[in-house]
């Protein structure tokens, strides 16, 4: 992966994910460095003048009326990391932590936080040396905790991961010929404030949700063929009468996936109309795509935003320092709740489709998709697993942003809870990927009972990709590894590219 430069323009969410996931090298461009230096010069001017400014010459939160002087301002930065690093639970994945770090760099490079450029340089060095702070996943109401654990690594405290090994941060820095940095006034606050944690995790959630929407169309189309679907429900003229963009796009994809299918042609008129889980794939999947588009706009706006408090505006000669509420993550908190719900619906309807595949009363296929039932249980319990994941998604899809808790002695009396919402959204995405993997396996197994009938262009490409690695089930065998393998392939590019090659460009 090549270099990605954060210069005058903000990173896109795809660039952020490339640094977090593909470990692309991140560099700070000259325009961004100029912005950082200008913001820091304003903070130094505030310190020199003795001006009262939140988090620079005062305490934090409910302690903001306490005035600090001299060395206390620098001491506050270190103490902020120490006191705010109170995360709980299993660590975030390296990818999730890198996403937060990259988001933090992106936000600070707007130059409105007033952070010391050395802080950003150290963050970039850790990313490029693949030194990843160990950050507990729980404990954030929207910001603060995760950033504090990351900040500790910059000063040589806490633990980090390097090459899959956990070690003290000081040891990892020394091995990379890096030295712990000394924080200046406001630096600690800059590291823990803003929507950087939420934004980084939201970028990951979006990047993982987008291919899930594509795969849902593919597995849905396979189930459609296996269940003798009636293609009139996807008629272009008819769908155009309800012109939601996502609906129209899914309709095009389904028609392309099923093009030239002998299975579809043979079964026209088999029934008057299909069950809604089959008939309404464009309406359900399309609605999810429309929400994904909305979430993408929210994320890109947030990446272009300065979300610290206070923010410094202007130049050292003519500046303003303004206490504000930009660290509140309401927009992205809502977006993550919405994305979780939208992706959960893909899993919910897929579970209904795959349930129909194993039920001979509605599928006309052998019970549980096995030729010799009784001695073999076939796909009976795979549907149980999908139902369990769908039920878990139903719980996880409950909104967090509508809840509220009061912190900092009522100074912070409304919270977005956006970071935990993003974390549960990531879990929903993973659960849904596994539900779709189960549908893929079951729909492909159903195809074994239609010998000699040609599948659609896209469904044939999907079936062939799966069968290159997973054989049909002539008798019961260990299913869990197959489910895991298909879910893994859905998160990679090869199978998706093979299917895309069979479709018109843009689908």
Mean pLDDT of the chain: 93
- Asked whether residue 406 carries a pLDDT value surpassing 80, the answer given is no
Range among 133-147, 319-333, 336-350 rated most confident? 336-350
Q: What pLDDT was estimated at residue 321?
A: 92
Q: What pLDDT was estimated at residue 409?
A: 55
Task: Tell me how many domains the chain contains.
Answer: 2
Q: Are residues 404 and 453 in the same domain?
A: yes
Does the residue 275 lie in any domain?
yes
- Asked whether residue 244 carries a pLDDT value surpassing 90, the answer given is yes
Does the residue 256 lie in any domain?
yes
Q: Are residues 316 and 401 in the same domain?
A: yes
| Segment 409-422, tens digit of pLDDT | 556 655 677 888 99
Q: Are residues 285 and 310 in the same domain?
A: yes
Q: What pLDDT was estimated at residue 156?
A: 97
Residue 122: give its domain's CATH number.
1.10.275.10
Q: Are residues 331 and 239 in the same domain?
A: yes
DSSP label at residue 193: -
Q: Which of 148, 168, 193 is at the close of a domain?
A: 193
Q: Are residues 288 and 422 in the same domain?
A: yes
Report the predicted TM-score, pTM, of the whole model to 2 decimal places: 0.95
Q: Are residues 179 and 221 in the same domain?
A: no
pLDDT band at 373 (very low <50, low <70, confident <90, very high): confident
The more confident residue out of 75 and 296 is 296
Span 275-294, average pLDDT:
98
Does the residue 147 lie in any domain?
yes
Residue 229: give its domain's CATH number.
1.20.200.10
Q: Are 365 and 357 in contact (CB under 8 A)?
A: yes
- Asked whether residue 206 carries a pLDDT value surpassing 70, the answer given is yes
The more confident residue out of 406 and 66 is 66
Q: Are residues 179 and 208 in the same domain?
A: no
- Asked whether residue 359 carries a pLDDT value surpassing 70, the answer given is yes
Q: Which of 193, 223, 238 is at the close of a domain?
A: 193
Q: Are residues 373 and 337 in the same domain?
A: yes
Does the residue 371 lie in any domain?
yes
Span 165-192, average pLDDT:
96
Beta carbons within 8 Å of 117's beta carbon, 6+ residues apart: 33, 36, 37, 40
CA distance 178 to 288: 45
Q: What pLDDT was estimated at residue 1?
A: 64
* Domain range for 344: 202-500
Q: Are residues 148 and 243 in the same domain?
A: no
Q: Which of 193, 215, 242 is at the close of a domain?
A: 193
Does the residue 374 lie in any domain?
yes
Does the residue 505 lie in any domain?
no
pLDDT band at 191 (very low <50, low <70, confident <90, very high): very high
Span 470-492, average pLDDT:
96
CA distance 437 to 485: 9
Pairing of strands 25-28, 3-6: parallel
Span 167-194, average pLDDT:
95
DSSP label at residue 93: P
Does the residue 20 lie in any domain?
yes
Residue 410's Cβ-count burial label (10 Å; 0-12, 13-18, 19+) is exposed
Q: Are residues 410 and 262 in the same domain?
A: yes
Q: Are residues 261 and 185 in the same domain?
A: no
Span 433-460, average pLDDT:
97
pLDDT band at 425 (very low <50, low <70, confident <90, very high): very high
| Segment 15-71, tens digit of pLDDT | 999 999 999 999 999 999 999 999 999 999 988 888 888 878 787 766 767 777 777
pLDDT band at 72 (very low <50, low <70, confident <90, very high): confident
Query: Vertex 81, ends 35 and 399: CA angle to 5°?
Result: 85
Q: Are residues 469 and 352 in the same domain?
A: yes
Does the residue 219 lie in any domain?
yes
The percentage of residues in the chain with a pLDDT greater than 70, rounded to a whole number, is 96
CA distance 333 to 402: 10
Span 468-479, average pLDDT:
94
């Amino acid at each position: 992966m090549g270099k990605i430069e954060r210069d005058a323009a903000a990173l896109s969410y795809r660039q952020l994910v490339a640094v977090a996931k593909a470990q692309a090298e991140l560099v700070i461009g000259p325009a961004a460095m100029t912005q950082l230096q200008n913001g820091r010069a304003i903070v130094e001017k505030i310190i020199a003048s003795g001006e009262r400014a939140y988090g620079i010459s005062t305490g934090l939160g409910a302690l903001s009326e306490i005035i600090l002087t001299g060395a206390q301002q620098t001491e506050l930065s270190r103490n902020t990391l120490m006191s705010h690093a109170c995360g709980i639970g299993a660590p975030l994945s390296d990818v999730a932590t890198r996403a937060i770090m990259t988001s933090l760099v992106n936000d600070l490079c707007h130059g409105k936080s007033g952070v010391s450029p050395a802080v950003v340089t150290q963050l970039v060095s850790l990313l490029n040396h693949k030194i990843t702070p160990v950050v507990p996943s729980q404990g954030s109401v929207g910001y603060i905790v995760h950033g504090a654990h990351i900040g500790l690594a910059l000063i040589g405290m806490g633990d980090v991961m390097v090459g899959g090994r956990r070690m003290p941060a000081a040891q990892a820095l020394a091995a990379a010929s890096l030295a712990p940095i000394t924080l200046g006034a406001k630096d600690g606050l800059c590291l823990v404030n803003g929507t950087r944690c939420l934004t980084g995790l939201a970028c990951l959630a979006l990047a993982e949700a987008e291919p899930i929407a594509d795969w849902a169309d593919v597995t849905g189309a396979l189930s459609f063929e296996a269940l003798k679907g009636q293609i009139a429900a996807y008629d272009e003229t008819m769908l155009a009468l309800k012109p939601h963009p996502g609906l129209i796009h899914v309709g095009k994809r389904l028609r392309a996936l099923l093009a030239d299918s002998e299975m579809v042609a043979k079964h026209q008129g088999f029934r008057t109309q299909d069950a809604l889980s089959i008939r309404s794939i464009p309406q359900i999947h399309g609605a999810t795509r429309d929400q994904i588009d909305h979430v993408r706009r929210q994320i890109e706006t947030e990446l272009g935003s300065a979300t610290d408090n206070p923010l410094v505006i202007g130049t050292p000669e003519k500046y303003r320092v303004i206490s504000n509420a930009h660290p509140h993550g309401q927009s992205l908190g809502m977006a993550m709740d919405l994305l979780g719900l939208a992706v959960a619906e893909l899993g919910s309807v897929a579970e209904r489709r795959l349930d129909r595949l194993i039920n001979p009363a509605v599928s006309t296929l052998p019970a549980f998709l096995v030729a010799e039932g009784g001695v073999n249980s076939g796909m009976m319990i795979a549907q149980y697993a999908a139902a369990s994941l769908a039920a878990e998604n139903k719980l996880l899809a409950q909104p967090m942003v509508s809840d509220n808790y009061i912190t900092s002695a009522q100074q912070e009396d409304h919270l977005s809870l956006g970071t935990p919402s993003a974390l549960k959204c990531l879990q929903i995405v993973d659960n849904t990927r596994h539900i779709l993997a189960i549908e893929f396996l079951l729909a492909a197994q159903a195809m074994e009972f239609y010998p000699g009938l040609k599948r659609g262009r896209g469904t044939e490409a999907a079936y062939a990709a799966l069968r290159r690695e997973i054989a049909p089930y002539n008798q019961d065998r260990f299913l869990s590894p197959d489910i895991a393998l298909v879910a893994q392939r859905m998160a990679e590019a090869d199978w998706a590219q093979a299917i895309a090659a069979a479709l018109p460009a843009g689908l």
